[in-house]
Structure 1
Amino acid sequence: MLSAIAHSGNWRRQLALATADGAGRAGKREGACGVPRDDWYKKDVVLQWEGLPLSFVVAQDLFSSHAVDAGSRLLLKSLASVRFAERGHALDFGCGWGVLGLAWKARLPGWDVRLVDRDALAVEFSGWNAERLGLAARGGISWSVGLGPGESPPDGFDLILWNVPGKAGEAVLKLLAGDVADALGRNGLAALVIVNPLAAAVRAAYMGRTNLHLERDERFADHTILHIRKRSGTEFVATRLGPFDKGVFDREPKAFDMPSGSYTLVPVVGLPEYESLGFDTVLLLSALDALTEHPEAVMIVGCGQGHLAVGAHLLYGVTKFTLVDRDLLALEATKRALAAVGVGEGTLQCLASSEIGMGEPDAPRVDTAIVRLVDQLPPAVMRTLVQDLEHRARKGGLTVVVGGGSTSVSRWLALVSRRTGWNARSRLKRRGASAATLSVRGQAGTS
């Protein structure tokens, strides 16, 4: 399993996003390996809590990008009357841009706080906020990409903060709720905020467990607050398997057909194309099939369920892949899909990232890049993506197959038309989707 990616030194080389090179926002902010954070920046938001004015940077693509959400405010307020020791271990599970965990660290600086999210962009902004608030310099704080609570302290967590995601689905939330309870140490507290329609399902996940005690169950206009306490007589037992390996996100196996062959994969909850291929994927695969050259080493940006990677393998026998996606779940799903058709982990490089980051000097060479564009990708992010591909092309040229909504592909083509070294070879369109095939010479760049 792709391990959770932790903040530790040059952690981009551990398949992670790097931390910023200072606090505040002056000029172009980049991570330690050149990830331009301002590409994603939207605004600053302020939280007043326990007399602490805390300012956070937020990204357009992250949850609650306009202000601190009402659920997080309620959850923090619910903790004001609970007594805690001056030191302990806390987890902000599904941290987003870090409001819960960082507010807790600011209030109780003696605590060790871990922030975890499956979205690498969220983790990047959590790290940026930790530095801007001066919390990273104090130590005792880390941020990492993960699907579950991850590795617990030796005696478990004393506090787990969880703003339960409303789109995960009841079945997934029930199983994740169990993982949260298991990660608590003796007398540890899980403090949850849940949208009211899902409260009953999450509450049910804890009922009947004799080692847990429901201390608080309070319903508000839109949210419910739950405080679940691990009984002090309960021995902590570390969980070895993560949620992906336990099948928390799994749907029923599904067979898919394409002209190059048939395959079966286990789709996951939370990613599209679990029943059929979208128009953009069909067009990307058609463009890939029409290539005159034979790809041997392929990079995929935007992996999804793994259809593009499996298609490249079935079409050309490709076994060398560089997989790039913000979502760790997409990377895990794609790795499993490739394993099902005989591609082992030894020939894969996986990067949980909001950017490609091709500035890495030891990045493996690829000859073909398949890029799935998301709708409304910020112009600065698209420009950085183009520049990263140009850097990659310096190792011998590159074929780029780019797809997505027709508007996004048109923006891409307009951008590269103003740069040297790019040659648009063909374009396909169907029902609002599009795919274009381009080549990039080794000295591509601005004109």
Structure 2
Amino acid sequence: MSHALFSSFDIDAGTRLLLKEIAHEPGIVNAKRLLDAGCGTGIIGVCLAASCPDMDVVMRDRDFRAVSFSARNAARNGLAVELRGLGGARLEPCRKRHFSKIKVAERNAVPMIAEAGLLCEPDGRGPYDVVLSNLPAKAGPLVLAQYFSTVRAELLRDGGIFAFVIVTPLAEQARAWCAEAGFSLRRTVSTKNHMVAIAQVPEGSSTASPGAASGRWFSRYVRSHVEKRIAGALLAWDGIQGLSEFDEPSYATTCALSLARKVFAGLLVRRALVIEPGVGIAPLWVQTVLGPQEIVLKSHDTLALAASSHNLGHAGRHNAVLMLEPFFLQAQLQAGQPSNRPSNAGLEYGGQLAPASTDAIILFLEDIPKFDIAAYYWPLISKVLKRGGAVVITAESTQTERVARQKPSGFSKSPFAEHKKGWDAIAFLRD
């Protein structure tokens, strides 16, 4: 479990109910290929892989931290697993000891796959016999309705099963989404807070067509269009379902960009790095005001990366470099395989940022309980920021105090700072 993820102390009630209801479903436990969509820490996927040795299991989640925990939990339970990044790149996960006293049957299936992915995003690994999901209410009704159609049209084979759990306030809508997508609703089980449904693609209906809507899938995430003048720049962006700042910039963004306008003034910026860019307002400001040759976006949230890339694309920037957080080196290639060494000189082999390769950094710090995130990011900043470069760090006031205390040698704190409604932005110059 993780303090940074949903249900950080125990398996949530919805997942428990779903596992209970699918345990004796022959069409599920005897399936050959299964997708755990929105896998979280991997509870569902790991349970199925451990108990069904012939089943190929793919685990996907919007949050790459969740994906990383899923891969870790699979490995620690003695299950072979591959961690995949953007574009399917195979990554080297951290190695941990197996949990003691855990024994799983020898598997005949291929290694499990844990990878980042969004609901409705085209999935080249389909079609599947089964799709399981603890559906996130925060995805919003438009995205969820589209996902039912995506599962039916692109992810499931003829006769395939879609088993899901959803919160009770959305239960009736979920029944309607099943009908609209063309599912046969076999049965439902309801409690005070959740509903589990077992739906099936009718036998003899059309088979799945992976990627059929590949060019249109992200449009369901768009919920608004905004134009605002922020820190001296007129910016326009699409608000995205599942992310904040769909109608106004946050206090954190306002602080960060007001300070960036002062700190980055006169700085020649060839490469800029934005960490946790959200909907993409900060990258848009960087594009408009600083005009760098390259913008790098780094986040654990693949929706934030997709949203920022989407909004930058509308502003004419189509080549932003996207990087997942936490960072894992790309796996070493076998002899004879084509090289995946990045052509960009600012990236090292394995996909990591090269030393002294970045002129300007904007970092939005998250508050993760019992985790010193400031200490986590200072080594990265120290490595990649050039001499003469600057970093703007925005967080809640208690966090920025810790950032300043942990400042390593070689950095000077800027005399400029911004504060608004409990949020602080501070800056440091690389000596």
Return the alpha-carbon distance in structure 2 between the equivalents of residues 285 and 222 of structure 1: 41
Gaps of 5+ in 2: 82-106, 330-345
RMSD: 2.3
| Residue 98 (structure 1) shift | 0.4
- The match for 1:314 is 288
Gaps of 5+ in 1: 1-57, 442-447
- The match for 2:14 is 71
- The match for 1:99 is 43
Kindly provide the CA deviation profile for residues 244-276 of structure 1, in whole angstroms up to 9, marking residues without a partner as x. 734121112221222433232211011111111
Q: Which moved more, 1:70-79 or 1:372-381?
A: 372-381
| Residue 93 (structure 1) shift | 0.2
Return the alpha-carbon distance in structure 2 between the equivalents of residues 356 and 229 of structure 1: 37
**Residues 322, 163 of structure 1: CA spacing in aligned structure 2 closer, same or farther, 3 A cutoff?**
same
Residue 436, structure 1, aligned to residue 426, structure 2: yes
| Residue 150 (structure 1) shift | 4.0
Residue 406, structure 1, aligned to residue 406, structure 2: no
- The match for 1:22 is none
**Residues 355, 423 of structure 1: CA spacing in aligned structure 2 closer, same or farther, 3 A cutoff?**
farther
Residue 176, structure 1, aligned to residue 147, structure 2: yes
SS of alignment partner, residue 286 of structure 1? helix
Kindly provide the CA deviation profile for residues 89-129 of structure 1, in whole angstroms up to 9, marking residues without a partner as x. 00000000000111011110111100000101000000101
Residue 367, structure 1, aligned to residue 359, structure 2: yes
Residue 214, structure 1, aligned to residue 185, structure 2: yes
Return the alpha-carbon distance in structure 1 between the equivalents of residues 347 and 288 of structure 2: 30
Residue 233, structure 1, aligned to residue 204, structure 2: yes
Kindly provide the CA deviation profile for residues 204-253 of structure 1, in whole angstroms up to 9, marking residues without a partner as x. 1111454x211111211211110001112023132323597341211122
Return the alpha-carbon distance in structure 1 between the equivalents of residues 33 and 226 of structure 2: 41
**Residues 237, 115 of structure 1: CA spacing in aligned structure 2 closer, same or farther, 3 A cutoff?**
same
| Residue 174 (structure 1) shift | 1.3
TM-score (norm 1): 0.79
- The match for 2:409 is 420
**Residues 409, 422 of structure 1: CA spacing in aligned structure 2 closer, same or farther, 3 A cutoff?**
same
Kindly provide the CA deviation profile for residues 318-360 of structure 1, in whole angstroms up to 9, marking residues without a partner as x. 2411100111111111112112222122xx2101213598995
SS of alignment partner, residue 251 of structure 1? strand
SS of alignment partner, residue 139 of structure 2? coil
TM-score (norm 2): 0.82
Return the alpha-carbon distance in structure 2 between the equivalents of residues 243 and 374 of structure 1: 32
**Residues 377, 195 of structure 1: CA spacing in aligned structure 2 closer, same or farther, 3 A cutoff?**
same
- The match for 2:336 is none
**Residues 187, 313 of structure 1: CA spacing in aligned structure 2 closer, same or farther, 3 A cutoff?**
same
Return the alpha-carbon distance in structure 1 between the equivalents of residues 241 and 140 of structure 2: 8
The one-letter amino acid paired with 1:316 is L
CA contact (8 A) 1:256 1:262 kept: yes
Q: 2:236 aligns with which of 264, 268, 273?
A: 264
Return the alpha-carbon distance in structure 2 between the equivalents of residues 278 and 392 of structure 1: 27
Q: 1:91-170 residue pairs with structure 2 within 5 A?
A: 91-136=35-80, 139-148=110-119, 150-153=122-125, 156-170=127-141
- The match for 2:377 is 385
Q: 2:25 aligns with which of 78, 82, 94?
A: 82
- The match for 1:14 is none
Return the alpha-carbon distance in structure 2 between the equivalents of residues 242 and 120 of structure 1: 21
Q: Which moved more, 1:381-390 or 1:132-141?
A: 132-141
Return the alpha-carbon distance in structure 2 between the equivalents of residues 244 and 407 of structure 1: 42
**Residues 243, 214 of structure 1: CA spacing in aligned structure 2 closer, same or farther, 3 A cutoff?**
farther
Return the alpha-carbon distance in structure 2 between the equivalents of residues 165 and 375 of structure 1: 22
SS of alignment partner, residue 400 of structure 2? helix
CA contact (8 A) 1:313 1:319 kept: no
Q: Which moved more, 1:75-84 or 1:375-384?
A: 375-384
The one-letter amino acid paired with 1:116 is R
The one-letter amino acid paired with 1:282 is T
Return the alpha-carbon distance in structure 2 between the equivalents of residues 355 and 401 of structure 1: 21
- The match for 1:187 is 159
CA contact (8 A) 1:146 1:328 kept: yes
Return the alpha-carbon distance in structure 1 between the equivalents of residues 208 and 113 of structure 2: 22
CA contact (8 A) 2:224 2:246 kept: no
Return the alpha-carbon distance in structure 2 between the equivalents of residues 269 and 243 of structure 1: 18
Residue 62, structure 1, aligned to residue 5, structure 2: yes
Kindly provide the CA deviation profile for residues 292-330 of structure 1, in whole angstroms up to 9, marking residues without a partner as x. 423231100011111101111221222411100111111
